[in-house]
Amino acid sequence: MDALKKNGILISNECYKQIFSVYLSGGNPLFITSDSLLNAYHVLYEESIFRLESSMAEQLPKILHAMLNNLTDIDKNMRGNPELVSASKKKAKLVVGIALRLIDPSFRFEDAELNKILQEECQKIKMAQIVEKPVWLGAPDPSFLSLDYSRYKPRGFYTQNEKLQRYFRAVSWLQSIPFRVNKNEELLAILMLGNTVGHRRKRNEECRKFYDIYESFIGKKDDWDLMVAAHEASFIPRAFSKDTLQLTRKHLHERADRQFEDRPKISDQISLPPEDPNDVYELNFRIISAYRTPSAILFQQTTDRRQFFHPFRSYPNGLEVCIAIGSQFAKETLEDPHKAKLLQAIDSYQSCFSGDSLYYDYLHALKALLDDAEPDAPDFMRNDAWQTKSCNTVLAGWAQLRHTWALQAKQNAFYAGMSMLPAGFVEPDPEFFGRMADLAIRTKRQLKEAGAFNPKYSLMQDLTRLKELIKTFESPTEMHQKMFELPLEDMTVIVKFMPFLTKEGEDKQTLIERMDLLKRDVKNGKTDKYPQLMSNYEQYDIDLEELWDRFENVSRRLEVIAHKQLRGVALNKSEEAFIKNYGIGIAGMMMYGGNSYYTPRDDAPRIIDVYYNPELHGYLHVGIARPRKIYVLYPWEGKNVLCEGAVMPYYEFVNDTRLTDLSWKEKLDSSQRPSVPKWMKSVISGNDLVRTQLKD
C-alpha cells in the first residue's frame, strides 16, 4: 500500500495464464496497458510468421535438391587445379547435402564416404550439445575455431511440429557455415553453388523470392548469400585459375570497401577478434544469411573485448536497447564499470535503430513509450516507477519480437469508494496507440504480399495435424467417440474436417489414404473437388487478415480514448462499453473464439537466447513470464481511482544451455526461477516476482 501511494503503480504477484484474463475479472475499474496490446500484436504476428515459415519449409527441399542436381556436372569443363576443384565440390555437396538430410531423412549420397560424414554430422546437429569443428571443414583457425552445435536446437514456435524442427535445423546449418573470401577452397565452393542457381537458370526467380522474403520484415542480411554468389559466379570463366580466384577476391574486397554495409556487422562464430578494429568478422558468404537486427549490431559493439576490457563485458544488458531508442531513465539506471565509454558507444550506434523495415517500424512504436509524458498526463507518469514500467514494457516487447525471429535473426539475451466509478482508463499515450495502428497496416500489407494469408497454408498444416491424431486411435469410430476428451485445438481440427471424416464403416488405413489424396489435391489447388468440406472448413478456420483489421481498429479506438482522457473529455457509452469488453476483444485477436477465453492455454511465457559467450559457455536469454496484474492509482475528478491492468514481466539472465519455451516454463515453476532485473524490483510487490497460484 505504501509503494502504491508513493508511486501510483504496483506490479503484483497475481499471476494469469493470458493477459486478457485480467480484463475479464469484473472487479476494480480497468487500466488498459500498452503491454496488453503489444502481447496481442505478438500472438497474431507470430501465428502469421508461423504460417509463412510452414510454407517456406515446403519450398526448401526443392531448392536444395535442385542445387545438388546442378552440382553434378558443375566441374565438367573446369580447367585449372583439379585437387582444388574436387575439394571445393565436395565441400559444397556436403554442406547442402547435410541440410537436405536434416529436412528430408530419406536423402542419401551415392558415395559411401560422403554418406558416412552426412550421417555423423546430422547426428551431432540433432544432439545439439558439442562444440567442435568437424575435420572435413578444415583445421581450426582464428576466424573459425569451432561450431557451437547447440545453435541447431529448435527454439521458439519451431518446436510445434516435426516439420518445422527439421526446417529450423536445416536453415540454421546453412546460416552457420562460412565460405570465406580469403580461402580458395571455400570461395570456389560458394561460386560453384552460385552457379547452380545462376541468373540464366529457370529456378533463379523462385530462389530469389525464397531468399528475399523477409527483408521487408527484418531488414538487411548480415552476410553475402547464395544470390550474391550467383551474381559473382556469372563472371567466372570455366577455365579458371588461381589468378581468376585472386581477381574475384580482389573485386569482392573492393566491393566491400565501397559498400561498407556489405561487411558483416555481427559475429555469430567462435573466433578470435580480427586485427582490423573496424571488422567484426572475416568477409564471407553463407548459403542462407541470417538478418541483422539493431540490437545484435549494438551488442556486438558493446561487448567488443578490443574496446571494453579490465574487466571484459561478458554479456550485454537489455537496458542498452532502451537507451538506444531514447530512454533517459535507462541511461541513468544502467550500472557498468565502463558506463561512460559504453554510453558513448550506444550513442554512436543509435542510427542502427532506424531504417525501412517492419522491424524498425515496431521499434518506432515502442519509442513512444519512452518519450516524455503528455502535458496533461497524470503525475505518476513522470516518476521513476512509471519509467521502470515503461522500460519493462519495451523490453518485453523486444523479447517477444526476437522470439518470433528465433531463426531468421542473427544472434550475437484501498481508497475511498465513489458512488459511480468509470469503466476504466487507457494508458494515456495516444502516440503509442496511433503508431501501433500504423504498424498493423504495414504488417498486414507485407504479410499479404508474402502470402501468409493463403488459406492453403493453414489447410495443409491442419491436415498434417489431423493425420497425426488419427494415428493415435484404433479406428475413426474411436476418434469420433473420444474427440471431446482432446485438447480444444485438436478437437477443433477434427471438427473442421468432419464432412470428410464421416464415411461409415471406413477403417483407419483407408481414411489415411484418402487424406493423403486430399493433401495432394490441396497442394495442387484442386480444392473445388471438396465443396462440402471447404464450406465447413471456412466456418472454423481463423481469418488472420480480418484479425489484423480488427487489431488496427482497436488501436485507433485506444488512441482516441487516450486523447479524450488527457483533455478531460467524457467518454461516450460506446467507449465505456469498449473498455469493459476489452478483455474479450483482445482474446479474440489472440485467436480465442467463442467463449474459449474462459479456459486459456498456459503458453504465454517466451524465451530466446540473444548472445553467447564461448569462454564462459553461457547464453544470455531474454523473455517474458506469465502476465501479472498491475495496480494503478489513476487521478479522476480530484480523487485517485484504484485500477487494475496487466503487464508482461521482462526477464534477462544467463543460462548454461539454450532454453526452449517449454524448459523456460518449467524453470519458472521450479526453485531455479531467476529474479527479475534489479532495476525492476522497486515497482514489484515484495521486490520480486515469485511462484504463485495461477489464475485463469
Q: Establish how many alpha carbons lie within 13 A of residue 157's alpha carbon, considering only the half-sphere containing its beta carbon.
A: 21
According to the model, what pLDDT value does residue 452 have?
87
Orientation angle between helical segments 184-196 and 226-233, nearest 10 degrees: 90
**186: pLDDT confidence band, cut at 50, 70 and 90?**
very high
Answer with the residue of higher pLDDT: 215 or 461. Answer: 215
Residue pLDDT, tens place only, 6-20: 999 999 999 999 999
- Judged against a pLDDT cut of 80, whether residue 199 lies above it is answered with no
Least reliable range by pLDDT among 76-90, 192-206, 207-221, 298-312: 192-206
Please tell me the distance from the alpha carbon of residue 661 to that of residue 210, in angstroms, as a whole number.
27
Average of pLDDT values for 583-603? Answer: 87
596-619 mean pLDDT: 90
Distance CA 18, CA 628 (A): 9
Rounded CA-CA distance 436/430 in Å is 10
CB 158 within 8 Å of CB 167 = yes
Could you tell me the three cell numbers for 159?
A: 518446436
Compare 492 and 575 and report the one with higher pLDDT.
575
pLDDT for res 412: 61
Q: What share of the chain has pLDDT > 70, as a percent?
A: 96
pTM of the model: 0.89
CA distance 691 to 671: 9
- Whether the predicted pLDDT of 237 surpasses 70: no
pLDDT band with cut points at 50, 70 and 90 for residue 414: very low
Q: Each residue of 240-258: pLDDT tens digit? A: 666 788 889 999 999 998 8
Report the alpha-carbon distance of residue 154 to residue 156 in Å, rounded. Answer: 7
Cell numbers representing residue 22 in the block = 485480467
Confidence of residue 273 (pLDDT cuts 50, 70, 90): confident
Q: Is the pLDDT of residue 61 over 90?
A: yes
Are β-strands 618-624 and 650-655 bridged in parallel, bridged antiparallel, or unpaired? Answer: antiparallel
Is residue 228 over pLDDT 50?
yes
